[in-house]
Structure 1
Protein backbone atom coordinates (compact mmCIF):
# COMPACT_ATOMS: atom_id res chain seq x y z
CA UNK A 1 0.00 0.00 0.00
CA UNK A 2 1.07 3.54 -0.58
CA UNK A 3 -0.23 6.91 0.44
CA UNK A 4 0.73 10.41 -0.42
CA UNK A 5 3.24 12.24 1.74
CA UNK A 6 0.38 14.12 3.34
CA UNK A 7 -0.93 12.73 6.60
CA UNK A 8 -4.51 13.91 7.01
CA UNK A 9 -4.97 16.36 9.91
CA UNK A 10 -7.19 15.69 12.90
CA UNK A 11 -10.63 14.51 11.82
CA UNK A 12 -13.54 16.51 13.18
CA UNK A 13 -15.34 13.87 15.26
CA UNK A 14 -12.24 12.12 16.66
CA UNK A 15 -11.38 12.82 20.27
CA UNK A 16 -8.59 15.31 20.81
CA UNK A 17 -5.44 13.65 22.04
CA UNK A 18 -6.35 10.23 20.62
CA UNK A 19 -3.43 7.81 20.27
CA UNK A 20 -3.61 7.67 16.47
CA UNK A 21 -2.91 11.39 16.12
CA UNK A 22 -0.12 11.43 18.68
CA UNK A 23 1.50 8.02 18.95
CA UNK A 24 0.87 5.91 15.84
CA UNK A 25 3.64 5.79 13.20
CA UNK A 26 3.09 8.58 10.68
CA UNK A 27 2.90 6.18 7.72
CA UNK A 28 0.05 4.24 9.36
CA UNK A 29 -2.03 7.19 10.53
CA UNK A 30 -4.03 7.68 7.32
CA UNK A 31 -5.00 4.00 7.26
CA UNK A 32 -5.89 3.95 10.96
CA UNK A 33 -8.06 7.01 10.38
CA UNK A 34 -9.60 5.36 7.34
CA UNK A 35 -10.59 2.40 9.55
CA UNK A 36 -11.83 4.87 12.21
CA UNK A 37 -9.45 3.49 14.82
CA UNK A 38 -9.33 7.02 16.22
CA UNK A 39 -13.15 6.87 16.58
CA UNK A 40 -13.93 3.48 18.19
CA UNK A 41 -17.60 4.21 18.89
CA UNK A 42 -18.66 2.59 15.60
CA UNK A 43 -16.89 -0.64 16.51
CA UNK A 44 -18.71 -0.70 19.84
CA UNK A 45 -22.07 -0.11 18.19
CA UNK A 46 -21.45 -2.92 15.69
CA UNK A 47 -20.19 -5.26 18.42
CA UNK A 48 -22.85 -4.76 21.07
CA UNK A 49 -25.71 -6.56 19.22
CA UNK A 50 -23.35 -9.53 18.75
CA UNK A 51 -22.61 -9.61 22.47
CA UNK A 52 -26.26 -9.18 23.42
CA UNK A 53 -27.26 -12.03 21.15
CA UNK A 54 -24.52 -14.28 22.54
CA UNK A 55 -25.56 -13.49 26.10
CA UNK A 56 -29.25 -13.97 25.33
CA UNK A 57 -28.45 -17.35 23.78
CA UNK A 58 -26.49 -18.29 26.92
CA UNK A 59 -29.55 -17.46 29.02
CA UNK A 60 -31.78 -19.61 26.82
CA UNK A 61 -29.27 -22.46 26.84
CA UNK A 62 -28.77 -22.34 30.60
CA UNK A 63 -25.04 -21.69 30.22
CA UNK A 64 -23.10 -20.21 33.16
CA UNK A 65 -21.69 -17.35 31.05
CA UNK A 66 -21.72 -16.11 27.44
CA UNK A 67 -19.14 -18.09 25.45
CA UNK A 68 -15.84 -16.15 25.86
CA UNK A 69 -14.50 -17.48 22.56
CA UNK A 70 -17.53 -16.16 20.70
CA UNK A 71 -17.28 -12.79 22.46
CA UNK A 72 -13.63 -12.52 21.41
CA UNK A 73 -14.30 -13.55 17.81
CA UNK A 74 -17.10 -11.03 17.52
CA UNK A 75 -14.83 -8.31 18.92
CA UNK A 76 -12.17 -9.01 16.28
CA UNK A 77 -14.78 -9.29 13.55
CA UNK A 78 -16.51 -6.06 14.54
CA UNK A 79 -13.22 -4.19 14.52
CA UNK A 80 -12.26 -5.51 11.08
CA UNK A 81 -15.66 -5.17 9.43
CA UNK A 82 -16.38 -1.74 10.84
CA UNK A 83 -13.06 -0.63 9.37
CA UNK A 84 -13.90 -2.30 6.06
CA UNK A 85 -17.31 -0.67 5.98
CA UNK A 86 -15.84 2.76 6.65
CA UNK A 87 -13.19 2.24 3.99
CA UNK A 88 -15.83 1.26 1.42
CA UNK A 89 -17.97 4.22 2.47
CA UNK A 90 -15.06 6.64 2.06
CA UNK A 91 -14.16 5.28 -1.37
CA UNK A 92 -17.71 5.79 -2.61
CA UNK A 93 -18.21 9.12 -0.84
CA UNK A 94 -14.85 10.73 -1.57
CA UNK A 95 -16.36 13.53 -3.68
CA UNK A 96 -19.18 14.22 -1.23
CA UNK A 97 -16.85 14.09 1.80
CA UNK A 98 -14.65 16.75 0.26
CA UNK A 99 -17.58 19.19 0.30
CA UNK A 100 -18.71 18.56 3.89
CA UNK A 101 -16.93 20.35 6.74
CA UNK A 102 -16.92 17.39 9.15
CA UNK A 103 -15.61 14.89 6.57
CA UNK A 104 -13.32 16.84 4.26
CA UNK A 105 -10.22 15.66 6.17
CA UNK A 106 -11.03 11.96 5.76
CA UNK A 107 -8.02 10.19 4.22
CA UNK A 108 -9.44 9.39 0.78
CA UNK A 109 -11.25 12.72 0.35
CA UNK A 110 -8.14 14.65 1.42
CA UNK A 111 -5.78 12.60 -0.76
CA UNK A 112 -3.83 11.16 2.18
CA UNK A 113 -4.74 7.66 0.89
CA UNK A 114 -5.11 6.96 -2.81
CA UNK A 115 -8.14 5.07 -4.11
CA UNK A 116 -6.07 1.98 -5.13
CA UNK A 117 -4.43 1.92 -1.71
CA UNK A 118 -7.83 2.20 -0.07
CA UNK A 119 -9.09 -0.79 -2.07
CA UNK A 120 -6.04 -2.81 -0.99
CA UNK A 121 -6.66 -1.87 2.63
CA UNK A 122 -10.32 -2.82 2.21
CA UNK A 123 -9.31 -6.26 0.95
CA UNK A 124 -7.01 -6.80 3.94
CA UNK A 125 -9.75 -5.96 6.42
CA UNK A 126 -12.25 -8.19 4.61
CA UNK A 127 -9.80 -11.09 4.81
CA UNK A 128 -9.58 -10.66 8.57
CA UNK A 129 -13.37 -10.59 8.77
CA UNK A 130 -13.57 -13.70 6.61
CA UNK A 131 -11.15 -15.54 8.89
CA UNK A 132 -13.36 -14.72 11.88
CA UNK A 133 -16.50 -15.79 10.02
CA UNK A 134 -14.98 -19.14 9.03
CA UNK A 135 -14.24 -19.86 12.70
CA UNK A 136 -18.00 -19.91 13.41
CA UNK A 137 -20.44 -22.81 12.89
CA UNK A 138 -21.67 -23.36 9.32
CA UNK A 139 -25.15 -21.95 9.96
CA UNK A 140 -23.62 -18.76 11.38
CA UNK A 141 -21.29 -18.50 8.37
CA UNK A 142 -24.26 -18.56 5.99
CA UNK A 143 -26.10 -16.05 8.18
CA UNK A 144 -23.11 -13.70 8.11
CA UNK A 145 -22.68 -13.96 4.34
CA UNK A 146 -26.33 -12.98 3.91
CA UNK A 147 -25.56 -9.53 5.34
CA UNK A 148 -22.94 -8.57 2.74
CA UNK A 149 -25.38 -7.16 0.20
CA UNK A 150 -26.88 -4.78 2.76
CA UNK A 151 -23.43 -3.64 3.85
CA UNK A 152 -22.35 -3.03 0.25
CA UNK A 153 -25.32 -0.86 -0.75
CA UNK A 154 -25.64 1.21 2.44
CA UNK A 155 -23.27 4.05 1.40
CA UNK A 156 -25.38 4.62 -1.72
CA UNK A 157 -28.70 4.91 0.09
CA UNK A 158 -28.40 8.57 1.09
CA UNK A 159 -28.40 9.40 -2.61
CA UNK A 160 -31.78 7.77 -3.24
CA UNK A 161 -33.80 7.83 0.00
CA UNK A 162 -34.40 10.01 3.03
CA UNK A 163 -34.19 6.87 5.18
CA UNK A 164 -30.65 5.50 4.77
CA UNK A 165 -30.76 4.88 8.53
CA UNK A 166 -33.10 1.94 7.89
CA UNK A 167 -30.45 0.21 5.78
CA UNK A 168 -27.75 1.04 8.32
CA UNK A 169 -30.04 -0.36 11.01
CA UNK A 170 -30.27 -3.69 9.21
CA UNK A 171 -26.51 -3.82 8.64
CA UNK A 172 -25.49 -2.84 12.18
CA UNK A 173 -28.13 -5.08 13.77
CA UNK A 174 -27.06 -8.27 11.99
CA UNK A 175 -24.99 -9.26 14.99
CA UNK A 176 -28.23 -9.73 16.92
CA UNK A 177 -28.76 -12.80 14.74
CA UNK A 178 -25.14 -13.96 14.73
CA UNK A 179 -24.70 -14.79 18.41
CA UNK A 180 -27.88 -16.85 18.54
CA UNK A 181 -27.04 -18.53 15.23
CA UNK A 182 -23.60 -19.47 16.56
CA UNK A 183 -25.00 -21.09 19.71
CA UNK A 184 -28.17 -22.78 18.43
CA UNK A 185 -27.42 -23.18 14.69
CA UNK A 186 -30.81 -21.55 14.07
CA UNK A 187 -32.56 -18.18 14.12
CA UNK A 188 -35.49 -18.19 16.52
CA UNK A 189 -37.97 -15.72 18.01
CA UNK A 190 -35.67 -14.20 20.69
CA UNK A 191 -33.03 -13.40 18.06
CA UNK A 192 -35.60 -11.96 15.65
CA UNK A 193 -37.10 -9.75 18.38
CA UNK A 194 -33.62 -8.60 19.41
CA UNK A 195 -32.80 -7.85 15.76
CA UNK A 196 -35.98 -5.81 15.27
CA UNK A 197 -35.25 -3.82 18.43
CA UNK A 198 -31.70 -3.18 17.27
CA UNK A 199 -32.93 -1.81 13.94
CA UNK A 200 -35.09 0.72 15.82
CA UNK A 201 -32.16 1.57 18.11
CA UNK A 202 -29.76 2.18 15.20
CA UNK A 203 -32.37 4.22 13.32
CA UNK A 204 -32.69 6.48 16.36
CA UNK A 205 -29.03 6.96 17.22
CA UNK A 206 -28.00 7.52 13.61
CA UNK A 207 -30.71 10.16 13.28
CA UNK A 208 -29.00 11.92 16.17
CA UNK A 209 -25.63 11.52 14.44
CA UNK A 210 -27.00 12.86 11.14
CA UNK A 211 -27.91 16.18 12.74
CA UNK A 212 -24.20 17.05 12.76
CA UNK A 213 -24.21 17.25 8.95
CA UNK A 214 -27.73 18.41 8.10
CA UNK A 215 -26.76 21.84 6.75
CA UNK A 216 -23.96 20.50 4.57
CA UNK A 217 -26.12 17.57 3.48
CA UNK A 218 -28.82 19.93 2.30
CA UNK A 219 -26.30 21.89 0.22
CA UNK A 220 -24.59 18.82 -1.22
CA UNK A 221 -27.89 17.12 -1.98
CA UNK A 222 -27.70 13.95 0.10
CA UNK A 223 -30.61 12.84 2.25
CA UNK A 224 -31.13 11.68 5.83
CA UNK A 225 -33.75 11.27 8.53
CA UNK A 226 -32.34 14.39 10.22
CA UNK A 227 -33.43 16.46 7.23
CA UNK A 228 -36.69 14.55 6.76
CA UNK A 229 -37.92 14.82 10.37
CA UNK A 230 -36.36 18.22 11.14
CA UNK A 231 -37.77 19.70 14.35
CA UNK A 232 -39.66 16.46 15.05
CA UNK A 233 -36.45 14.43 15.29
CA UNK A 234 -36.39 14.26 19.11
CA UNK A 235 -39.94 12.88 19.14
CA UNK A 236 -39.06 10.26 16.51
CA UNK A 237 -35.90 9.28 18.40
CA UNK A 238 -37.90 8.90 21.60
CA UNK A 239 -40.53 6.73 19.92
CA UNK A 240 -37.88 4.53 18.32
CA UNK A 241 -36.08 4.13 21.63
CA UNK A 242 -39.38 3.17 23.30
CA UNK A 243 -39.97 0.58 20.56
CA UNK A 244 -36.43 -0.73 21.12
CA UNK A 245 -37.05 -1.28 24.82
CA UNK A 246 -40.40 -3.01 24.20
CA UNK A 247 -38.95 -5.37 21.59
CA UNK A 248 -35.94 -6.14 23.78
CA UNK A 249 -38.33 -6.89 26.63
CA UNK A 250 -40.17 -9.42 24.47
CA UNK A 251 -36.82 -10.91 23.41
CA UNK A 252 -35.79 -11.36 27.05
CA UNK A 253 -39.12 -12.97 27.89
CA UNK A 254 -38.92 -15.34 24.92
CA UNK A 255 -35.42 -16.42 25.99
CA UNK A 256 -36.45 -17.03 29.60
CA UNK A 257 -34.37 -14.20 31.04
CA UNK A 258 -34.43 -13.47 34.75
CA UNK A 259 -34.51 -10.35 36.94
CA UNK A 260 -30.88 -9.33 36.39
CA UNK A 261 -31.41 -9.18 32.63
CA UNK A 262 -34.55 -7.12 33.21
CA UNK A 263 -32.55 -4.81 35.49
CA UNK A 264 -29.99 -4.39 32.69
CA UNK A 265 -32.77 -3.51 30.29
CA UNK A 266 -34.15 -0.99 32.78
CA UNK A 267 -30.72 0.67 33.02
CA UNK A 268 -30.51 0.68 29.23
CA UNK A 269 -33.94 2.32 29.03
CA UNK A 270 -33.02 5.00 31.56
CA UNK A 271 -29.89 5.87 29.60
CA UNK A 272 -31.94 6.20 26.40
CA UNK A 273 -34.42 8.44 28.22
CA UNK A 274 -31.51 10.65 29.29
CA UNK A 275 -30.43 10.90 25.65
CA UNK A 276 -33.84 12.17 24.54
CA UNK A 277 -33.87 14.71 27.36
CA UNK A 278 -30.29 15.85 26.68
CA UNK A 279 -30.56 16.03 22.89
CA UNK A 280 -30.22 19.42 21.20
CA UNK A 281 -30.48 18.96 17.45
CA UNK A 282 -29.08 22.46 16.84
CA UNK A 283 -25.83 21.72 18.71
CA UNK A 284 -23.60 19.34 16.68
CA UNK A 285 -21.19 18.82 19.57
CA UNK A 286 -24.07 17.86 21.86
CA UNK A 287 -25.43 15.49 19.23
CA UNK A 288 -22.06 13.72 19.10
CA UNK A 289 -21.91 13.36 22.90
CA UNK A 290 -25.43 11.93 23.03
CA UNK A 291 -24.74 9.60 20.10
CA UNK A 292 -21.56 8.25 21.70
CA UNK A 293 -23.38 7.54 24.96
CA UNK A 294 -25.08 4.59 23.25
CA UNK A 295 -21.95 2.58 24.00
CA UNK A 296 -22.62 3.05 27.72
CA UNK A 297 -26.28 2.11 27.28
CA UNK A 298 -25.28 -1.04 25.43
CA UNK A 299 -22.72 -2.09 28.03
CA UNK A 300 -25.32 -1.67 30.79
CA UNK A 301 -27.62 -4.06 28.96
CA UNK A 302 -24.83 -6.55 28.27
CA UNK A 303 -23.80 -6.51 31.93
CA UNK A 304 -27.35 -7.35 32.96
CA UNK A 305 -27.58 -10.18 30.45
CA UNK A 306 -24.19 -11.62 31.44
CA UNK A 307 -24.97 -11.42 35.16
CA UNK A 308 -28.27 -13.15 34.53
CA UNK A 309 -26.32 -16.20 33.39
CA UNK A 310 -23.49 -15.95 35.91
CA UNK A 311 -25.21 -15.29 39.24
CA UNK A 312 -27.63 -18.27 39.12
CA UNK A 313 -24.67 -20.51 38.26
CA UNK A 314 -22.87 -19.34 41.41
CA UNK A 315 -25.81 -19.89 43.73
Structure 2
Protein backbone atom coordinates (compact mmCIF):
# COMPACT_ATOMS: atom_id res chain seq x y z
CA UNK A 1 0.00 0.00 0.00
CA UNK A 2 2.80 2.35 0.96
CA UNK A 3 4.65 1.56 -2.29
CA UNK A 4 1.54 2.30 -4.34
CA UNK A 5 1.07 5.61 -2.55
CA UNK A 6 4.69 6.64 -3.22
CA UNK A 7 4.30 5.63 -6.87
CA UNK A 8 1.21 7.81 -7.25
CA UNK A 9 3.01 10.78 -5.67
CA UNK A 10 5.97 10.32 -8.04
CA UNK A 11 3.65 10.18 -11.05
CA UNK A 12 1.87 13.37 -10.01
CA UNK A 13 5.23 15.11 -9.48
CA UNK A 14 6.42 14.05 -12.94
CA UNK A 15 3.22 15.28 -14.54
CA UNK A 16 3.62 18.67 -12.87
CA UNK A 17 7.20 18.93 -14.13
CA UNK A 18 6.14 18.00 -17.67
CA UNK A 19 3.29 20.52 -17.59
CA UNK A 20 5.53 23.29 -16.31
CA UNK A 21 8.17 22.39 -18.89
CA UNK A 22 5.60 22.61 -21.67
CA UNK A 23 4.61 26.11 -20.56
CA UNK A 24 8.27 27.11 -20.19
CA UNK A 25 8.94 26.01 -23.78
CA UNK A 26 6.06 28.01 -25.20
CA UNK A 27 7.30 30.26 -28.05
CA UNK A 28 8.16 33.77 -26.90
CA UNK A 29 7.15 37.01 -28.57
CA UNK A 30 10.40 38.56 -27.34
CA UNK A 31 13.12 38.82 -29.98
CA UNK A 32 16.79 39.47 -29.11
CA UNK A 33 18.54 41.75 -31.58
CA UNK A 34 21.46 40.16 -33.49
CA UNK A 35 24.64 41.96 -34.65
CA UNK A 36 23.49 42.57 -38.25
CA UNK A 37 19.84 43.29 -37.47
CA UNK A 38 17.98 46.42 -38.52
CA UNK A 39 14.44 47.44 -37.73
CA UNK A 40 13.58 46.89 -41.38
CA UNK A 41 14.84 43.28 -41.29
CA UNK A 42 13.03 42.53 -38.04
CA UNK A 43 9.79 44.11 -39.29
CA UNK A 44 9.96 42.05 -42.47
CA UNK A 45 10.68 38.84 -40.55
CA UNK A 46 7.63 39.27 -38.31
CA UNK A 47 5.29 40.67 -40.96
CA UNK A 48 4.85 44.06 -39.36
CA UNK A 49 5.99 47.65 -39.94
CA UNK A 50 8.84 49.71 -38.52
CA UNK A 51 6.27 52.18 -37.17
CA UNK A 52 4.45 49.43 -35.27
CA UNK A 53 7.69 47.92 -33.93
CA UNK A 54 8.55 51.35 -32.51
CA UNK A 55 5.14 51.60 -30.86
CA UNK A 56 5.29 48.05 -29.44
CA UNK A 57 8.64 48.76 -27.84
CA UNK A 58 8.80 52.49 -27.15
CA UNK A 59 11.69 53.06 -29.56
CA UNK A 60 12.81 56.67 -29.88
CA UNK A 61 15.00 56.06 -32.94
CA UNK A 62 15.18 53.85 -36.02
CA UNK A 63 18.24 52.00 -34.75
CA UNK A 64 18.55 48.92 -32.54
CA UNK A 65 21.43 47.54 -30.47
CA UNK A 66 22.77 44.02 -30.25
CA UNK A 67 21.29 42.29 -27.21
CA UNK A 68 18.28 44.59 -27.07
CA UNK A 69 14.97 42.74 -26.75
CA UNK A 70 11.94 43.62 -28.83
CA UNK A 71 8.33 42.56 -28.49
CA UNK A 72 7.18 41.27 -31.88
CA UNK A 73 3.91 39.86 -33.29
CA UNK A 74 3.88 36.08 -33.67
CA UNK A 75 1.52 33.31 -34.69
CA UNK A 76 0.97 30.87 -31.86
CA UNK A 77 -0.44 27.35 -32.18
CA UNK A 78 -2.71 26.44 -29.27
CA UNK A 79 -1.56 23.42 -27.28
CA UNK A 80 -3.43 20.99 -25.09
CA UNK A 81 -4.22 22.63 -21.77
CA UNK A 82 -3.82 26.22 -23.01
CA UNK A 83 -6.25 28.81 -21.72
CA UNK A 84 -6.64 32.49 -22.44
CA UNK A 85 -5.51 33.17 -18.88
CA UNK A 86 -2.23 31.28 -19.44
CA UNK A 87 -1.59 33.00 -22.77
CA UNK A 88 -2.43 36.38 -21.28
CA UNK A 89 0.16 35.87 -18.55
CA UNK A 90 2.80 34.51 -20.93
CA UNK A 91 2.54 37.27 -23.52
CA UNK A 92 1.72 40.17 -21.15
CA UNK A 93 -1.57 40.86 -22.89
CA UNK A 94 -5.11 41.00 -21.61
CA UNK A 95 -7.46 38.16 -22.54
CA UNK A 96 -9.67 40.71 -24.27
CA UNK A 97 -6.76 41.93 -26.41
CA UNK A 98 -6.05 38.38 -27.60
CA UNK A 99 -9.74 37.79 -28.30
CA UNK A 100 -10.05 41.06 -30.20
CA UNK A 101 -6.94 40.44 -32.34
CA UNK A 102 -8.28 37.01 -33.30
CA UNK A 103 -12.01 37.85 -33.45
CA UNK A 104 -12.85 35.27 -30.81
CA UNK A 105 -16.41 35.27 -29.54
CA UNK A 106 -15.67 33.12 -26.47
CA UNK A 107 -12.84 32.13 -24.11
CA UNK A 108 -12.73 28.59 -25.46
CA UNK A 109 -9.58 27.51 -27.32
CA UNK A 110 -9.04 24.45 -29.50
CA UNK A 111 -5.81 22.47 -29.77
CA UNK A 112 -4.09 23.37 -33.06
CA UNK A 113 -5.90 26.70 -33.34
CA UNK A 114 -3.74 29.53 -34.76
CA UNK A 115 -3.67 32.76 -32.77
CA UNK A 116 -2.07 36.04 -33.75
CA UNK A 117 -0.25 37.45 -30.69
CA UNK A 118 0.14 41.19 -31.21
CA UNK A 119 2.00 43.29 -28.56
CA UNK A 120 0.21 46.26 -27.07
CA UNK A 121 1.22 49.61 -28.54
CA UNK A 122 2.63 52.18 -26.13
CA UNK A 123 1.41 55.77 -26.02
CA UNK A 124 3.98 57.83 -27.91
CA UNK A 125 4.20 61.35 -29.32
CA UNK A 126 7.53 62.26 -30.87
CA UNK A 127 10.26 61.15 -28.49
CA UNK A 128 7.88 61.10 -25.49
CA UNK A 129 6.60 57.72 -24.25
CA UNK A 130 3.94 57.61 -21.51
CA UNK A 131 3.72 54.30 -19.64
CA UNK A 132 2.29 52.55 -16.62
CA UNK A 133 4.71 51.29 -13.97
CA UNK A 134 4.60 47.74 -15.35
CA UNK A 135 5.09 48.92 -18.93
CA UNK A 136 8.13 50.89 -17.80
CA UNK A 137 9.50 47.81 -16.05
CA UNK A 138 9.28 45.82 -19.30
CA UNK A 139 10.72 48.71 -21.33
CA UNK A 140 13.68 49.06 -18.97
CA UNK A 141 14.38 45.30 -18.85
CA UNK A 142 14.35 44.97 -22.64
CA UNK A 143 16.62 47.92 -23.44
CA UNK A 144 20.40 48.22 -23.46
CA UNK A 145 22.28 51.52 -23.00
CA UNK A 146 25.76 52.58 -24.06
CA UNK A 147 26.24 55.30 -21.44
CA UNK A 148 27.55 54.54 -17.96
CA UNK A 149 24.89 55.61 -15.45
CA UNK A 150 25.82 55.81 -11.77
CA UNK A 151 23.59 58.59 -10.45
CA UNK A 152 19.82 59.08 -10.28
CA UNK A 153 18.70 62.70 -9.86
CA UNK A 154 15.37 63.66 -8.29
CA UNK A 155 13.76 67.01 -9.05
CA UNK A 156 10.31 68.55 -8.83
CA UNK A 157 9.00 70.71 -11.64
CA UNK A 158 7.68 73.47 -9.30
CA UNK A 159 5.97 74.74 -12.46
CA UNK A 160 4.01 73.04 -13.94
CA UNK A 161 2.37 71.87 -10.72
CA UNK A 162 -0.68 69.82 -9.77
CA UNK A 163 -3.10 72.55 -10.82
CA UNK A 164 -1.81 72.24 -14.39
CA UNK A 165 -2.46 68.50 -14.64
CA UNK A 166 -5.92 67.56 -15.95
CA UNK A 167 -5.48 63.79 -15.94
CA UNK A 168 -5.07 63.42 -19.70
CA UNK A 169 -2.64 66.16 -20.76
CA UNK A 170 0.61 64.25 -20.25
CA UNK A 171 1.94 64.94 -23.74
CA UNK A 172 0.88 68.58 -23.70
CA UNK A 173 2.81 69.11 -20.47
CA UNK A 174 5.88 67.32 -21.80
CA UNK A 175 5.83 69.31 -25.03
CA UNK A 176 5.40 72.53 -23.05
CA UNK A 177 8.48 71.73 -20.97
CA UNK A 178 10.43 70.69 -24.06
CA UNK A 179 9.58 73.95 -25.85
CA UNK A 180 10.57 75.99 -22.80
CA UNK A 181 13.88 74.14 -22.45
CA UNK A 182 14.69 74.60 -26.12
CA UNK A 183 13.66 78.22 -26.55
CA UNK A 184 14.30 79.76 -23.13
CA UNK A 185 17.18 77.65 -21.84
CA UNK A 186 18.85 76.93 -25.22
CA UNK A 187 19.06 73.22 -24.42
CA UNK A 188 19.03 70.63 -27.21
CA UNK A 189 15.74 69.10 -26.12
CA UNK A 190 13.79 68.48 -22.93
CA UNK A 191 16.21 68.39 -19.98
CA UNK A 192 14.92 65.30 -18.17
CA UNK A 193 15.09 61.64 -19.12
CA UNK A 194 12.07 60.72 -17.01
CA UNK A 195 8.93 62.37 -15.67
CA UNK A 196 6.40 61.13 -13.12
CA UNK A 197 2.80 62.38 -13.00
CA UNK A 198 0.22 62.69 -10.20
CA UNK A 199 -1.73 59.72 -11.64
CA UNK A 200 1.32 57.45 -11.26
CA UNK A 201 2.25 57.27 -14.95
CA UNK A 202 5.83 57.57 -16.18
CA UNK A 203 7.21 59.32 -19.25
CA UNK A 204 10.51 58.62 -20.95
CA UNK A 205 11.54 61.65 -22.99
CA UNK A 206 15.23 62.46 -23.33
CA UNK A 207 16.92 59.20 -24.43
CA UNK A 208 18.88 57.47 -21.67
CA UNK A 209 22.00 57.47 -23.85
CA UNK A 210 22.03 61.28 -23.77
CA UNK A 211 23.07 62.96 -20.52
CA UNK A 212 20.50 65.36 -19.03
CA UNK A 213 20.87 69.14 -19.02
CA UNK A 214 20.09 71.60 -16.28
CA UNK A 215 21.34 73.80 -13.46
CA UNK A 216 22.42 70.85 -11.31
CA UNK A 217 25.73 70.93 -13.22
CA UNK A 218 27.79 68.63 -15.41
CA UNK A 219 29.27 66.58 -12.56
CA UNK A 220 25.78 65.32 -11.73
CA UNK A 221 24.60 65.19 -15.34
CA UNK A 222 27.48 63.35 -17.02
CA UNK A 223 26.79 60.04 -15.26
CA UNK A 224 23.21 60.79 -14.31
CA UNK A 225 19.59 60.18 -15.20
CA UNK A 226 17.29 63.10 -14.46
CA UNK A 227 13.80 62.52 -13.05
CA UNK A 228 11.34 65.41 -12.95
CA UNK A 229 8.40 64.75 -10.64
CA UNK A 230 5.41 66.88 -11.67
CA UNK A 231 4.41 69.07 -8.73
CA UNK A 232 5.55 71.72 -6.28
CA UNK A 233 6.56 69.70 -3.23
CA UNK A 234 7.74 72.57 -1.06
CA UNK A 235 5.83 72.50 2.23
CA UNK A 236 2.51 74.30 1.93
CA UNK A 237 2.00 73.52 -1.73
CA UNK A 238 1.18 70.26 -3.56
CA UNK A 239 0.67 67.14 -1.43
CA UNK A 240 1.99 64.17 -3.39
CA UNK A 241 -0.62 61.58 -4.37
CA UNK A 242 -0.18 57.97 -3.31
CA UNK A 243 -0.05 56.95 -6.98
CA UNK A 244 2.88 59.25 -7.71
CA UNK A 245 4.66 58.35 -4.48
CA UNK A 246 4.39 54.63 -5.28
CA UNK A 247 5.66 55.24 -8.81
CA UNK A 248 8.67 57.25 -7.65
CA UNK A 249 9.71 54.48 -5.26
CA UNK A 250 9.07 51.69 -7.77
CA UNK A 251 10.79 53.45 -10.67
CA UNK A 252 13.84 54.39 -8.60
CA UNK A 253 14.13 50.79 -7.37
CA UNK A 254 13.98 49.49 -10.95
CA UNK A 255 16.69 51.92 -12.04
CA UNK A 256 18.92 50.89 -9.14
CA UNK A 257 18.53 47.24 -10.08
CA UNK A 258 19.13 47.95 -13.77
CA UNK A 259 22.34 49.89 -13.20
CA UNK A 260 23.63 48.01 -10.14
CA UNK A 261 23.21 50.85 -7.64
CA UNK A 262 22.77 50.72 -3.87
CA UNK A 263 20.61 53.56 -2.46
CA UNK A 264 22.86 56.21 -0.90
CA UNK A 265 23.75 59.88 -1.26
CA UNK A 266 26.28 58.79 -3.92
CA UNK A 267 23.74 57.00 -6.12
CA UNK A 268 20.42 58.85 -5.56
CA UNK A 269 20.81 62.60 -5.34
CA UNK A 270 18.59 65.65 -4.82
CA UNK A 271 19.04 68.89 -6.77
CA UNK A 272 19.15 70.69 -3.41
CA UNK A 273 22.57 69.17 -2.72
CA UNK A 274 24.32 70.91 -5.63
CA UNK A 275 25.60 74.51 -5.75
CA UNK A 276 23.88 76.47 -8.52
CA UNK A 277 26.95 78.61 -9.27
CA UNK A 278 29.80 76.11 -9.09
CA UNK A 279 28.08 72.81 -9.89
CA UNK A 280 29.79 71.27 -6.87
CA UNK A 281 28.02 68.85 -4.53
CA UNK A 282 27.53 70.62 -1.21
CA UNK A 283 24.96 68.27 0.39
CA UNK A 284 23.46 70.13 3.38
CA UNK A 285 26.32 72.61 3.68
CA UNK A 286 25.16 75.58 1.63
CA UNK A 287 23.49 78.93 2.03
CA UNK A 288 19.90 79.04 0.85
CA UNK A 289 20.64 81.40 -2.06
CA UNK A 290 23.26 79.01 -3.47
CA UNK A 291 20.91 76.03 -3.88
CA UNK A 292 17.37 75.18 -4.96
CA UNK A 293 14.82 73.60 -2.63
CA UNK A 294 14.25 70.97 -5.36
CA UNK A 295 12.84 68.25 -5.14
CA UNK A 296 10.93 70.09 -2.41
CA UNK A 297 11.08 70.68 1.33
CA UNK A 298 8.22 68.19 1.66
CA UNK A 299 9.63 65.51 -0.67
CA UNK A 300 9.47 62.19 1.24
CA UNK A 301 10.00 63.90 4.58
CA UNK A 302 12.29 66.68 3.37
CA UNK A 303 15.11 67.58 1.00
CA UNK A 304 18.11 67.01 3.28
CA UNK A 305 20.49 64.06 3.25
CA UNK A 306 19.14 63.10 6.68
CA UNK A 307 15.57 62.91 5.38
CA UNK A 308 16.69 60.95 2.31
CA UNK A 309 18.50 58.39 4.47
CA UNK A 310 15.62 58.11 6.93
CA UNK A 311 12.52 58.30 4.73
CA UNK A 312 13.45 57.69 1.07
CA UNK A 313 16.32 55.22 0.72
CA UNK A 314 14.74 52.56 2.98
CA UNK A 315 11.63 52.57 0.77
CA UNK A 316 13.80 52.11 -2.31
CA UNK A 317 15.77 49.25 -0.77
CA UNK A 318 12.61 47.52 0.40
CA UNK A 319 11.08 47.76 -3.07
CA UNK A 320 14.31 46.50 -4.65
CA UNK A 321 14.13 43.44 -2.39
CA UNK A 322 10.50 42.85 -3.33
CA UNK A 323 11.22 43.09 -7.06
CA UNK A 324 14.32 40.88 -6.79
CA UNK A 325 12.32 38.18 -5.01
CA UNK A 326 10.13 37.81 -8.13
CA UNK A 327 13.09 37.12 -10.43
CA UNK A 328 13.47 33.54 -11.55
TM > 0.5 fold call: no
Shorter-chain TM-score tier: under 0.3
TM-score by length of 1: 0.26
**TM-score, structure 2 as length reference:** 0.25
Q: Which has the higher contact order (CA 8 A, sep 6+)?
A: 1
Name which one, 1 or 2, has greater alpha-carbon Rg.
2
Return the structure number with greater strand share.
2
